């Protein structure tokens, strides 16, 4: 929301809005001229508002939304506003997928900036290269993430679509995986006949997503260099855990690509980024330099600091596939023992993937569970982090549950040793724990 507000401010619109508390993002918007209210109440809908924009997380009983409807003020979802903004650009690019959207959008951003293509960028995390989550450029390129939750991405108007992966998630909205695949098919159908779909060919039955549609299709994948337009071979890691690989283009080995991030999942993200960049005419030298300059975004395997000789990293992973990818990547990062402090995100997701969470987390040496972060939910569904800790223990991995961050801090300080790696993980406020430890 803050990124779209910033675009509107830069285009001369008058913007007001609300948030639960002050943050660097709200203060930045205030400095740019926005009027920010703290706490959500009907009185925030002041005279002179022409349109109210709300996110998928806002329920129909929200006091501001009720007031806007009562006043007959036109309303738009965040996705609808994003779609309207995209229509002002000749080359709108939408990066979608269950996982990896922020990282891949950020990788593409680095490449486009390296090539001086001057894009407008809307990314779902804080990207240091643009000093935030938004950049307003002066070219015809608009790059954004495209989220499937509540079918938000069906309101967009892309020219290039990227589909990184399709897995079961957001089951508080979608019925099942087939329902999710249907939405990604609809998302692909948004492309015009001269549009292009860049899709991970390792998605099961990936052809179903675009069969019969008029768009051009570019495929990528890491598993078989003979099947895809872009693939990778000879994946290796340096002493810092950074990954590199040979780029295979249409079955032919071309360049050796080096990244400044770790993990095989980032090889896949890089392949998608390379495919998009070459569609835009960017040279491979510029692509290599842009990818090499990318060192991650906030909360994506982000190095936070070192205390008592222990390295603390923070990661946004909140789905079993993401957790497994992060912990697998951590194996290549210099460390002695790996501690994962995980905060489950929503009761719905924890219940739906209970056994998958246990399996994924068991790849750490030690696991610590916090209470479930409820986010938009209230119903516990009869599930708890204590249950998850016991399931991990049964798989043979040391696992503990604590109800407070204070208990976790004391436990860690008593147990960790010099050279250990601690990853705070989850989509809630678990990042605060690592920051408190470093204090």
- C-alpha to C-alpha distances, 305 to 154, 228, 302, 310, 438, nearest whole angstrom: 40, 39, 9, 8, 7
- At 400 the three-state DSSP class reads strand
Q: Which residues of 407-419 are buried (b: 16+ CB within 10 A; e: fewer)?
A: ebbeebeeebeee
Per the annotation, the verdict on 102 as an active-site residue is yes
- At 124 the three-state DSSP class reads strand
| CA pseudo-torsion sign 266, 268, 271, 272 | negative
Cβ pair 106, 124 in contact under 8 A: no
Instruction: Return the residue matching tokens 């001269």.
Output: 194
Distance CA 159, CA 268 (A): 22
Tokens of 238: 């340096």
What one-character-per-residue DSSP string does 230-272 give? EEEEEEEE-TTS-EEEEEEETTEEEEEEE-SS-SHHHHHHHHH
Cβ pair 425, 317 in contact under 8 A: yes
Per the annotation, the verdict on 326 as an active-site residue is no
Cβ pair 261, 302 in contact under 8 A: no
Tokens of 325: 């990818």
- Set 98, 102, 222, 262: catalytic member: 102
Helix-, strand-, coil-residue percentages of the chain, each rounded to 5: 35, 25, 40
- Set 6, 64, 114, 145: catalytic member: 145
Distance CA 86, CA 113 (A): 19
Tokens of 63: 């006091």
- At 146 the three-state DSSP class reads coil
Nearest CA to 156 out of 203, 125, 122 is that of 122
Distance CA 243, CA 329 (A): 9
Our CA angle for 367, 369, 374, nearest 5°, is 150
- Set 6, 67, 101, 397: catalytic member: 101
Q: Which residues are catalytic?
A: 101-102, 145
């Amino acid at each position: 929301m803050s990124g779209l507000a910033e675009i509107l401010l830069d285009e001369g619109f008058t913007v007001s809005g609300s948030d639960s508390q002050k943050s660097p993002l709200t203060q930045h918007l205030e400095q740019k001229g926005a009027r920010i209210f703290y706490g959500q109440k009907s009185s925030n809908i002041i005279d002179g508002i022409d349109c109210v924009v709300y996110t998928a997380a806002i329920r129909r009983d929200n006091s501001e939304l009720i007031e806007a409807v009562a006043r007959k003020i036109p309303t738009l979802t965040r996705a609808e506003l994003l779609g309207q903004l995209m229509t002002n650009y000749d080359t709108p690019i939408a990066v979608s997928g269950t996982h990896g959207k922020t990282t891949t959008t950020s990788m593409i951003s680095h490449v486009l900036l390296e090539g001086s293509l001057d894009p407008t960028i809307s990314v779902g995390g804080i990207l240091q290269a643009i000093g935030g989550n938004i950049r307003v450029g002066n070219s015809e390129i608009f790059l954004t993430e495209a989220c499937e939750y509540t079918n938000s991405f069906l309101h967009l108007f892309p020219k290039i679509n990227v589909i990184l992966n399709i897995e079961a998630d957001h089951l508080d909205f979608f019925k099942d995986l087939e329902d999710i695949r249907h939405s990604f098919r609809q998302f692909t159908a948004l492309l015009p006949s001269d549009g292009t779909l860049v899709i991970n060919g390792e998605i099961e039955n990936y052809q179903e997503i675009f069969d019969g549609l008029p768009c051009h299709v570019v495929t990528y994948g890491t598993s078989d260099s003979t099947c895809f337009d872009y693939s990778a071979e000879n994946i290796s890691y340096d002493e810092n855990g950074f990954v590199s690989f040979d780029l295979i283009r249409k079955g032919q080995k071309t360049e050796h690509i080096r990244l400044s991030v770790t993990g095989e999942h980032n090889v896949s993200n890089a392949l998608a980024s390379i495919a998009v960049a070459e569609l835009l005419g960017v040279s491979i030298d510029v692509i290599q330099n842009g990818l090499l300059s990318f060192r991650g975004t906030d909360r994506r395997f982000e190095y936070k600091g070192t205390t008592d000789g222990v390295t603390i990293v923070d990661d946004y992973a909140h789905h079993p596939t993401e957790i497994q990818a992060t912990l697998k990547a951590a194996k290549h990062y210099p460390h002695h023992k790996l501690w994962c402090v995980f905060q489950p995100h929503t009761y719905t997701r924890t219940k739906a993937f209970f056994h998958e969470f246990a399996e994924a987390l068991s790849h750490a040496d030690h696991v610590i569970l916090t209470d479930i972060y409820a986010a938009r939910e209230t119903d516990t569904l009869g599930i708890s982090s204590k249950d998850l800790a016991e399931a991990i223990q049964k798989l043979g991995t040391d696992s503990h549950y604590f109800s407070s961050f204070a208990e976790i801090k004391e436990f860690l300080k008593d147990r960790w040793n010099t050279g250990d790696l601690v990853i705070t993980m989850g989509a809630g406020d678990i990042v605060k724990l690592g920051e408190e430890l470093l204090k």
